[in-house]
Chain A
């Protein structure tokens, strides 16, 4: 989260609504360690990253939904998704993210 603090401060000063996603757990091979974070503003701007680019698109979708509902949730992305075209990590690992509004 360190890397995105300056941008978060700017968004807060502008009064934007922000959702933040953090990697909390990684099983197997994963590109980023726990603590990797990205944030999405209500205007759709994105800072930071939680993987090597594999799941960021899906995280943005989840984050924008969370900005609407205000709920907080765990989201996992893995290689063994049932849906043939589901978003997953090409490296074979599973990452677990906690996504929530930055209302604290």
Chain B
């Protein structure tokens, strides 16, 4: 009886993409199909919507919906025919959580990791210095890696897409040049790089020297964050997370990159 729920729950818990299809109107309302394409046992399908043809068509459609991360109602004929309104099926996609890679194990990292967890990110904190990259300092992170940027991207580069984020907080060319090089070679949706305008100007020269193309440079949100006057690590974390959301949704929000003048202005008295 609880096989459907358990398959769904296990896939979500294990961060596998999964679909729950439910007949919400028509015969067999409540009938369900759970599709778990990346299960360890291969493409697992549990349950039925009441008709093999309907199951087949909904399975096919669901794969596309899952890839797009969409949830919504679709209509079919009794055996899955298109352009009919006999059965309404709610196809609910559960995408795995988006990933945020944070380079640099500093105070800003801890605050950013906490804010990113609030937004549902799987947060990976990386720093080559074992003294700083510890679980004790970043208990909120899903993973803490004592690693150079190359090692981190070797693990995650293939998985990064539109919903994911890379935040480079090191301020140190030893780390941030290789991190930027690898980040711009991925499909990641957001690349933020911390540092003053002067630091960033120097960084741009180094990035040009190592051959990072202009299209890559144009993707960098640097200085990182929205211009909301943030000061503390926590405020900065909010500014960065807000920029990530605006970047993903394509909404206009003033970014520090697009203004000039001091980042930290005196508050009006």
Give the docked Cα–Cα distance between A98 and B30 (Å).
9
Given contacts A34-B92, A72-B30, contact A98 B24 (CB under 8 A): yes
Docked complex: B18-68 residues within 8 A CB-CB of A:
20, 22, 24-25, 29-30, 32, 47
Docked complex: A1-16 residues within 8 A CB-CB of B:
1-2, 5, 8-9, 12
* Pick from B2, B93, B94: contact of A104, CB under 8 Å: B2
Give the docked Cα–Cα distance between A1 and B30 (Å).
17
- Asked whether A74 lies within 8 Å of B24 as measured between CB atoms, the reply is yes
B159 adjacent to chain A (CB < 8 Å): no
B71 adjacent to chain A (CB < 8 Å): yes
* Pick from A8, A34, A72, A102: contact of B71, CB under 8 Å: A34
- Asked whether B72 lies within 8 Å of A34 as measured between CB atoms, the reply is yes
Give chain A residues whose Cβ lies under 8 Å from the Cβ of B47: 104
Task: Report the count of interface residues on A (CB-CB < 8 A).
Answer: 20
Give chain A residues whose Cβ lies under 8 Å from the Cβ of B106: none
- Asked whether A9 lies within 8 Å of B4 as measured between CB atoms, the reply is no
* Pick from A9, A74, A104: contact of B1, CB under 8 Å: A104
Given contacts A5-B9, A104-B5, contact A35 B92 (CB under 8 A): yes
Distance (whole angstroms) from the CB of B226 to the closest CB of chain A: 24
Give chain A residues whose Cβ lies under 8 Å from the Cβ of B72: 24-25, 34
| Chief secondary structure at chain B's binding surface | strand
Per-residue CB proximity of A23-35 to B under 8 Å, as 1/0? Answer: 0110000000111
Give the docked Cα–Cα distance between A33 and B95 (Å).
15
| Chief secondary structure at chain A's binding surface | mixed
- Asked whether B1 lies within 8 Å of A103 as measured between CB atoms, the reply is yes
- Asked whether A22 lies within 8 Å of B30 as measured between CB atoms, the reply is no
B210 adjacent to chain A (CB < 8 Å): no
B12 adjacent to chain A (CB < 8 Å): yes
Give the docked Cα–Cα distance between A64 and B258 (Å).
53
Docked complex: B68-111 residues within 8 A CB-CB of A:
71-73, 90, 92-94
Give chain A residues whose Cβ lies under 8 Å from the Cβ of B13: 5
Given contacts A98-B24, A100-B30, A104-B32, contact A25 B73 (CB under 8 A): yes
Per-residue CB proximity of A43-58 to B under 8 Å, as 1/0? Answer: 0000000000000000
**5 interchain residue pairs of minimum CB distance:** A24-B90, A72-B30, A34-B71, A35-B71, A104-B4
30 contacts between A and B (CB under 8 A): A1-B12, A1-B92, A1-B94, A2-B12, A2-B94, A5-B9, A5-B13, A8-B5, A8-B9, A9-B9, A12-B2, A22-B90, A24-B24, A24-B72, A25-B72, A25-B73, A33-B71, A34-B92, A35-B71, A35-B92, A35-B93, A72-B30, A96-B73, A98-B22, A98-B90, A100-B30, A102-B5, A103-B1, A104-B5, A104-B32
